């Protein structure tokens, strides 16, 4: 008896199985070199099937040494082109040819290989493919009703996030660390069970990383060299909600059902964004809208009527092109993170598809600001007209987004009217923010009833822009005081008065026209002693007004810093002082006031007067200090 096993039969151990039961005792087992090549390739890629197949060949060699079978390796190794075409049947064709030439029986666990062999008149023995994996999940035992995720890694104790939504605790769930052999067993079980089960699939498979969807579990399996050890992260939703479970349910239902809209669901990780998105998807589907999802990986728990799409060929833009042919009424996009994601989201929305995007953001307004610079400013309300911010599993804030041509809040000159994006509280209709261009910059200004908020928003911005304009003209120190919403007093050196005002007042009039603010120019000697405050700076550390003194803190106070000069900025590092307003001084001589940005630094654009003054101080080796303003 002559037997030619193909790759599937060797991997499943079907040859040694039949030798053990006596079926193939004394048989000639002819192993094609094409099978060896394919197993070697799989093993080199770190795939378990390759290693299992090589172990089977070693068992056959032992049988041959014992004289139970006659083992030979026959045929030629496939070319690189044939190896690349393995998925199209090139390797299988080589194996069938060997069986034909040797008048042997082809042993296979591949149903397609068996059917093709029969059609070609080859003697074939087909055996069912081995069931791999447990059929369930071994790690499922770590989950209980309040477990959202399980975290396993070689040589560490298993941990889990457990608790109610918004009150999760990361805690150990076993006393002993997990060894590498156990982790490998669990990882293999996850992959094999997902491939074999009808309710599971491998979403992504790359060397070192597999993403699996198995029932309602999303599981990431990382291996070396991508990770420094085998790591398994399994996530499962612990609640499934309906839109009625949330605040503003009636209003949101009416808004979503009225027409296709652009919605951003925002919140921090674990806040319940995806759970809310699922509730929205189910509501829209029940409201007779055709709903699809775009996910990578697919893990939203939605009903069978909602088709879940992933990245087509690894590219969500291709998925979007396909969906535009399907013409859904609404598409749930989970998650919108990168610039390409925002571009796809915008294109589909502007094509008339209702879009619901899930984004990470720590504030409701931050979700909208992520569109700035990625979408033309005037088109933002056409792309997103609703922002829903989720916190601790509840709807915390809902914003209505619209455009209005008006004079921005805090400015009064009629010729300063421009398109302004208004962000209103959905419940009260009260304007919360305005986004518009001011002096070639896109700014987001918070609106509040109190004077303190106005000072931190419009007034600070106005001071900054006045400072910038006057500093470009004046040669000495400049200080700015706002007198109401449409008037400012600028204090300059006496020698700069005529230069700033210009012939016949023409130069200062040009500045007033550009900024829409009346400006009174005076000398520093005319400044009242009570006006010791200096104009501030924006969150990115742009210059505030400069003066000859003033501000909090005396000599010797503050933190000594060493500014960093880059090609575009002078940067003052102030880690641990994010959001604080400070004064920057050189040898205790006041330079400017700024607010420490989110990155923990103050950035001053090179080429500005403030930057030049700071660089001159650095060149003169003056001590640069920062004191609270």
CA 608-612-616 angle, to 5 degrees, is: 170
Q: Could you give the residue ranges of the DSSP H alpha helices within 388-501? A: 451-454, 460-471, 497-501
φ/ψ of 539, rounded to 5, equals -65, -20
Would you identify the CATH topology of the domain 138-235?
A: Beta-Lactamase (3.30.450)
> pLDDT per residue over 509-548, tens digit each?
888 887 778 888 888 888 875 333 333 333 333 333 333 3
pLDDT per residue over 271-293, tens digit each?
Answer: 889 889 999 999 999 999 999 99
Count the neighbouring beta carbons within 10 Å of the beta carbon of residue 449. Answer: 8
The H helix count followed by the E strand count for the chain is 19, 32
Kindly give the pairing relationship between strand 262-267 and strand 354-360.
parallel
Q: What residues have CB less than 8 Å from 618, skipping those under 6 apart? A: 563, 565, 624
**Per-domain residue ranges for the chain?**
2-126, 138-235, 243-446, 454-628
Mean of pLDDT values over 96-116? 91
Q: Which residues contact 74 (CB under 8 A, 6 or more apart)?
A: 30, 31, 32, 33, 98, 102
**CATH number for the domain whose boundaries are 2-126:** 3.40.50.1010
For 82, 138, 178, 236, 620, the CA distances from 158, given in Å and listed in that order, are 44, 14, 7, 16, 58
Element spanning 410, H or E: none
Max CA pair span of the chain: 113
Domains 2-126 and 243-446 fall in the same CATH topology: yes
CATH for the stretch 243-446: 3.40.50.300
Residue in the block written with tokens 């009903």: 303
CATH code, 454-628: 3.30.300.20
Say what the pTM is: 0.57
Residues 6 or more apart whose Cβ sits within 8 Å of residue 290: 326, 327, 328, 329, 330
Lowest-pLDDT range of 37-46, 304-313, 427-436: 37-46
CA 153 to chain centroid: 24
Q: What angle do CA 396, 390, 383 make, to 5 degrees?
A: 105
pLDDT in tens, 218-227: 899 999 889 9
Q: What does the pLDDT look like over 473-503, one tens digit per residue?
A: 887 888 888 776 667 888 888 888 888 888 7
Could you tell me whether strands 124-126 and 105-108 are parallel, antiparallel, or unpaired per DSSP bridges?
A: parallel
């Amino acid at each position: 008896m002559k037997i030619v096993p193909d790759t599937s039969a060797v991997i499943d151990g079907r040859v040694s199985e039949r030798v053990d039961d006596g079926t193939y005792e004394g048989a000639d087992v002819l192993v094609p070199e094409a099978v060896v090549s394919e197993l070697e390739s799989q093993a080199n890629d770190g795939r378990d099937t390759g290693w299992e197949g090589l172990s089977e060949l070693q068992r056959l060699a032992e049988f041959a040494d014992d004289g139970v079978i006659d083992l030979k390796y026959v045929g030629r190794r496939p070319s690189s082109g044939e190896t690349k075409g393995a998925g199209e049947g090139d390797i299988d064709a080589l194996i069938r040819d060997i069986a034909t030439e040797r008048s042997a029986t082809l042993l296979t666990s591949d149903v397609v290989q068996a059917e093709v062999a029969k059609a070609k008149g080859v003697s074939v023995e087909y055996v069912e493919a081995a069931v791999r994996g447990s059929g369930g999940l071994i790690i499922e035992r770590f989950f209980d009703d309040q477990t959202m995720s399980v975290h396993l890694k070689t040589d560490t104790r298993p941990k889990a996030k457990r608790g109610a939504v918004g009150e999760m605790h990361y805690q150990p769930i076993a006393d002993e660390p997990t060894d590498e052999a156990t982790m490998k067993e669990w990882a293999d079980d996850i992959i094999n069970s997902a491939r074999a089960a009808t309710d599971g699939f491998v979403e992504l498979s790359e060397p070192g990383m597999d993403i699996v969807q198995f029932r309602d579990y999303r599981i990431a399996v990382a291996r070396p060299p991508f990770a420094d050890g085998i790591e398994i992260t399994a996530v499962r939703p612990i609640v499934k909600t309906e839109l009625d479970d949330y605040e503003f349910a009636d209003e949101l239902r009416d808004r979503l059902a009225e027409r296709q809209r652009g919605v951003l669901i925002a919140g921090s990780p674990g806040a319940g964004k995806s759970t809310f998105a699922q509730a929205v998807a189910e509501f829209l589907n029940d409201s007779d809208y055709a709903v699809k999802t775009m996910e990578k990986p697919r893990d939203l728990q939605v009903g069978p009527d909602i088709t879940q799409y992933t990245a087509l060929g690894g590219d969500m833009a291709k998925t979007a092109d396909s969906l535009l042919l399907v013409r859904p009424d609404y598409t749930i996009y989970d998650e919108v993170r990168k610039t390409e994601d925002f571009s796809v989201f915008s294109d589909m929305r502007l094509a008339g598809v209702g879009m619901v995007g899930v984004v990470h953001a720590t504030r409701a307004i931050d979700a909208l600001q992520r569109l700035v610079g990625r979408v033309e400013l005037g088109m933002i309300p056409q792309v997103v007209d609703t922002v829903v911010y989720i916190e601790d599993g509840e709807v915390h804030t809902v914003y209505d987004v619209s455009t209005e041509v008006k004079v921005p809040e805090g400015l009064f000159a009629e010729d300063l009217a421009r398109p302004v994006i208004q962000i209103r509280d959905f419940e009260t209709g009260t304007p919360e923010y305005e986004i518009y261009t001011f002096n070639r910059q896109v700014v987001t200004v918070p609106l509040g009833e109190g004077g303190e908020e106005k000072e931190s928003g419009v007034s600070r911005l106005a001071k900054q822009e006045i400072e910038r304009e006057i500093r470009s003209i004046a040669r000495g120190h400049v200080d700015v005081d706002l007198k109401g919403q449409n008037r400012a007093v600028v204090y300059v050196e006496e020698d700069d008065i005529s230069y700033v005002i210009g012939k016949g007042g023409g130069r200062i009039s040009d500045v007033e026209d550009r900024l829409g603010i009346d400006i009174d120019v005076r000398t520093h000697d005319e400044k009242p002693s009570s006006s010791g405050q200096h104009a501030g700076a924006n969150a990115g550390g742009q210059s505030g007004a400069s003066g000859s003194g003033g501000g909090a803190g005396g000599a010797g106070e503050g933190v000594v810093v060493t500014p960093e000069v880059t090609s575009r900025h002078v940067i003052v590092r102030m880690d641990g002082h994010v959001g604080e307003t400070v004064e920057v001084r050189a040898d205790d001589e006041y330079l400017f006031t700024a607010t420490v940005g989110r990155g923990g630094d103050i950035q001053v654009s090179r080429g500005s007067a403030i930057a030049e003054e700071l660089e001159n101080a650095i060149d003169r080796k003056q001590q640069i200090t920062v004191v609270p303003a």
